[in-house]
Structure 1
Amino acid sequence: MHDDALLRVSSLAKSVPGGRELFRGLDLIARPGQLIAIVGESGVGKSTLLNILAGLDRPDAGQVAIEGVGLETLDEAALTRLRATRVGFVFQAFHVLPYLTLRQNIALPLALVSADRRSITARADAMLERVGLGTRGGGYARDLSGGELQRVAIARALVHRPAIILADEPTGNLDPETAAKILALFSTAVRENGVAAIIVTHSEAAAAIADIVLTLTATGLERRA
């Protein structure tokens, strides 16, 4: 049987220095077009889990596979390339570089893996159009609102056609009305592009757009009814 999982996590365990266990026995599967929200109390390890899924941190036990490739089998160079080509990131603080134009910000993931400047520009402009900033490509971050900055961040996360997107509190700095618009855009973009998205969030509004809501506890992930 064909396994269409873009992300597969098996029996993951992680402790912090000093020995306190964050979680153990953690299993997770994410498929194309699926949006999964992970909620939980502060300090339970949500951001640590995202870092492990991205290969930025190593688990104490268990496995993470992206498109069937086990992260534990990769050296740092291969992990870096996998992140550059198969993973997109969206952060609470946007991480949009102020000294680059919006077009250049969105093109960054492409520039890491391609030298075809014409193709890169065309794809960046297409993503600007998709997120409603089609006329703003030559502008700079200093002229944008928080919602517009997060639109740029979403476009950047999707431009290189990743397998998965990891989002850490993507609407944490936005007012409720703007957050609702960004969440709708994010949800549509994930489904239209067939990526799997993992959102770590405290926001009930963000969790509400997810197909599955999971609560992170010391014994793993529990599905919310």
Structure 2
Amino acid sequence: MLHVSGLVKTVPGGRTLFRGIDLALAPGEFVAITGESGAGKSTLLNLVAGLDSPDAGSVHIAGTDIASLDDDGRTRLRRDRIGFVFQAFHVLPHLDLAHNVALPLALQGREADESLAAAKAMLESVGLGGRDDAYPRELSGGELQRVAVARALVHRPDLILADEPTGNLDPDTAARTLALFVEQVRHAGAAVLLVTHSTVAAAVADRSLVLSPAGLVERA
């Protein structure tokens, strides 16, 4: 599903974030990456998503080398094959929950009725059934992250990229949200690449890796 080979990334000033990153995810596999602050975990996700370009190396998603795609091609790849879950939720405040969750389907050009029906079913699956017409301002942080999980999965992507999805939540809410996230992505059969500071979050993955300047190493 995902194959990363020899990624190198430097930042302004010439500091090398990492060198020689190699990573492979099989369909449905869940991999967590931890590392010190500033190690480049979020940068690695951006490289995988085609939102940034490496100094060397390659990223293939479902057999497609993202470097071979133009901007429109990378946008279509993200739209059709990738779901995103962020620490800051990125739920749109002016849209109700159903329309927030339906957004990936709308971007694919799906019919409005079909998109909203799928969004309402996803909200039901994350425990927010009956709140389709609520607005983000009415929700708690944990509920907002549930909306974000529903939105990430509604278009049935092959790959989920999750950046500190429980980082803004208190420990109890984080634990419940993490359990729901794992349940939903396992049910969807999506591959997951999760970056996190939390060893608790990393422990739910099939494999846990540590990002260092030298590359990725298996967590002991």
Match of 1:73 in 2: 68
In structure 2, distance between residues paired with 1:12 and 1:114: 34
Q: Does 1:84 align with 2:79?
A: yes
User: Which residues of structure 2 form unaligned runs of 5+?
Assistant: none
In structure 2, distance between residues paired with 1:55 and 1:105: 23
- Percent of pairs identical after alignment? 63
In structure 2, distance between residues paired with 1:117 and 1:88: 20
Q: SS of the residue aligned with 1:90?
A: strand
The question of whether the paired residues in 2 share the 8 Å contact of 1:53 and 1:64 is answered with yes
Shift of 1:142: 0.7
Shift of 1:126: 1.0
In structure 2, distance between residues paired with 1:117 and 1:179: 33
The question of whether the paired residues in 2 share the 8 Å contact of 1:89 and 1:165 is answered with yes
User: Which residues of structure 1 form unaligned runs of 5+?
Assistant: 1-5
Match of 1:3 in 2: none
TM-score, normalising length from structure 2? 0.98
Match of 1:16 in 2: 11
Shift of 1:32: 2.2
RMSD between aligned residues: 0.8
Amino acid at match of 1:175: D
Matches within 5 A, 1:184-199: 184-199=179-194
The question of whether the paired residues in 2 share the 8 Å contact of 1:35 and 1:187 is answered with no
In structure 2, distance between residues paired with 1:23 and 1:64: 15
The question of whether the paired residues in 2 share the 8 Å contact of 1:9 and 1:26 is answered with yes
Q: SS of the residue aligned with 1:215?
A: strand
Deviations 1:132-173 (A, max 9, x none): 111111110011011000000000000011111111110011
Matches within 5 A, 1:174-193: 174-193=169-188
Matches within 5 A, 1:72-221: 72-221=67-216
In structure 2, distance between residues paired with 1:149 and 1:32: 27
Match of 1:49 in 2: 44
In structure 1, distance between residues paired with 2:132 and 2:32: 31
Amino acid at match of 1:93: A
In structure 2, distance between residues paired with 1:177 and 1:212: 24
Amino acid at match of 1:55: G
Amino acid at match of 1:104: H
In structure 2, distance between residues paired with 1:205 and 1:32: 23
Q: Does 1:7 align with 2:5?
A: no
The question of whether the paired residues in 2 share the 8 Å contact of 1:31 and 1:195 is answered with no
Deviations 1:177-225 (A, max 9, x none): 1111111111111111111111111112111111111100111100112
Q: Which runs of 4+ in 1 moved over 6 A?
A: none
TM-score, normalising length from structure 1? 0.96
